[in-house]
Amino acid sequence: MPEPVIYHIDVNSAFLSWEAAELLKQDPDAPDIRTFPAVIGGSEELRHGIVLAKSPSAKAFGVKTGEPLAHARRKCPDLKVYPPHYSLYVQRSNEFMELLRRYAPEVEAYSIDEAFCDMTGTTSLYGEPIAFAHKLKDIIREELHFTVNIGVSSNRLLAKMASDFEKPDKVHTLFPEEVPEKLWPLPVEDLFSVGKSTAGRLRSLGLGTIGDLAHANHDMIVSTFKSHGDTIWNYAHGIESSALTHETAPENKCYGNSLTISFDVTDSATAKRVLLSLCETVGARLRAAGAYISVVQVQITNNDFHQTCHQTTLPSSTNVTEKIYACACELFDAAWDHTPIRLLGVSTSKATSESYEQYNLFDMDKYEKLSKLNSAVDKIRTRYGEDAIKRACFVENDEKRDIRHMTGGMNKAKRTPKNT
Ligand SMILES: [Mg+2]
């Protein structure tokens, strides 16, 4: 049996890199937005301006993904803001995954800009795995005009941690024997699946680094954090006790979008148009990632900033826009108290890479058709732009109350595991 070899390949500042490559394609003399303080951000006029991706020099100013553009501007007054182009990113993502499939026997899309490649047994084909990772990284840069980091290890967990080391355009290894040297000195929040709240609790126990967690008493960690404690204690030792993508992590993954609306919504028809628009992007993201979800949540924030969230579990998993939308509408009807709405959000969770749809014959037929329709629409948008095809209800928009047919850029939620 050959030694397992896993690559985790992560596009550097994906949206910004893809946007930069596109701008240069349109005008080779255009400035490269990767080389100065720039971000991809939502529209400020529509009150939903947050940083979706940042250039390295914006990062040097302390600009963070997910923060309001107004904050980012305070840190960096010369910041240039570029609007997101969702369908372009799906297209680039598809090209990226396609290139990987040309070389790797097994490719697993983990998010729109990340993939695992199982390279086990390819040494006779490509040579030594670390050298080939460098080669593959360069092939991606030359063919697709963006850079990636590649993490190389013998399991997914360590490969993923490795790709997060110094960026951009780098290959890093993190083999089990390198764990004490490379992983243990890192702050505990850097460990996969340790979010803010878990990190806070670990720190209050005096465990500030991954090494501290690794050396902590296993029973104590399990009694404090239950089964997640066992997982993170093993992760701190570089042991992937549960599969990252097929079982544990996808359930923690959530795909969601929200929109702060440029006017207060007071009627249910308008609210549902916003929900549909959000479901369009969420559905497209799920399909791009090959993910299926079984929990749908709707968030309503009224003009007093009071927030209501309702969620439900579907009997079967799906990535069909219409199904997510139908569910969102039901939740909305149950949750809305008729106060004016400022923000609406749709998020989905319990993601898996396989659908386990169990419909009666009538439903199965209907959802198969919808599924085919969805992927046809995705293809058209990928080729001709996201505005090439839209639902009739978005065609006649009154100008002042413009609701885009696909809203909400993608945010960090796309891959940050939720803390439980
Ligand atoms: Mg990335």
Per-residue pLDDT at 289: 72
Residues 173 and 190 in one domain: no
Average pLDDT over residues 67-91: 88
Banded model confidence at residue 217, pLDDT cuts 50, 70, 90: very high
Residues 188 and 174 in one domain: no
Residue 15 CA to ligand 1 centre (angstroms): 8
Residue 197 CA to ligand 1 centre (angstroms): 23
- Write phi, then psi, for 330 (nearest 5 degrees): -60, -45
pLDDT (tens digit per residue) in 297-339? 999 998 888 888 888 888 778 888 988 999 999 999 999 999 9
Residues 312 and 376 in one domain: yes
Kindly state whether residue 242 falls inside one of the protein's structural domains: no
**Count of domains observed in the chain:** 3
pLDDT (tens digit per residue) in 84-117? 887 788 789 889 999 999 999 888 888 788 999 9
Residues 140 and 125 in one domain: yes
Residue 247 has pLDDT above 50, yes or no: no
Closest CA to 373 of 392, 389, 385, 395: 389
Residue 13 CA to ligand 1 centre (angstroms): 5
In terms of phi and psi (left: phi > 0; alpha: psi -120 to 50; beta: otherwise), the region of 350 is left
Residues 200 and 329 in one domain: no
Residues 190 and 315 in one domain: no
| pTM for the whole structure | 0.62
Residue 130 CA to ligand 1 centre (angstroms): 20
Residues 119 and 221 in one domain: no
pLDDT (tens digit per residue) in 352-393? 766 554 444 445 556 677 777 888 888 788 777 777 788 777
> Residue 311's Cα: distance from chain center in Å?
20
Domain boundary among 133, 157, 178: 178
Residues 3 and 125 in one domain: yes
CATH number at residue 129: 3.30.70.270
Which residues are part of the catalytic machinery? 114
> Residue 212's Cα: distance from chain center in Å?
29
DSSP 108-161: EEEETTEEEEE-TT-HHHH-SHHHHHHHHHHHHHHHHS--EEEEEESSHHHHHH
Closest CA to 163 of 154, 155, 174, 175: 174
Q: Tell me the HSE value of 379 on the side-chain side, using a 13 A CA sphere.
A: 6
Residue 415 CA to ligand 1 centre (angstroms): 10
Q: Which domain holds residue 198?
A: 184-236
Q: Are 104 and 129 in contact (CB under 8 A)?
A: no
Closest CA to 347 of 382, 400, 298, 281: 298
- As a whole number of angstroms, the distance between CA 245 and CA 303 comes to 38
pLDDT (tens digit per residue) in 255-264? 888 888 888 8
Long-range contacts of 90-98 (CB under 8 A, 24+ apart): 90/284, 90/285, 90/288, 90/378, 90/381, 90/382, 91/382, 91/383, 92/14, 92/18, 92/21, 92/144, 92/146, 93/14, 93/288, 94/288, 94/382, 95/144, 96/11, 96/140, 96/144
Residues 34 and 146 in one domain: yes
Cα angle 232, 254, 101; round to 5: 85
CATH number at residue 260: 3.30.1490.100
Residue 8 CA to ligand 1 centre (angstroms): 11
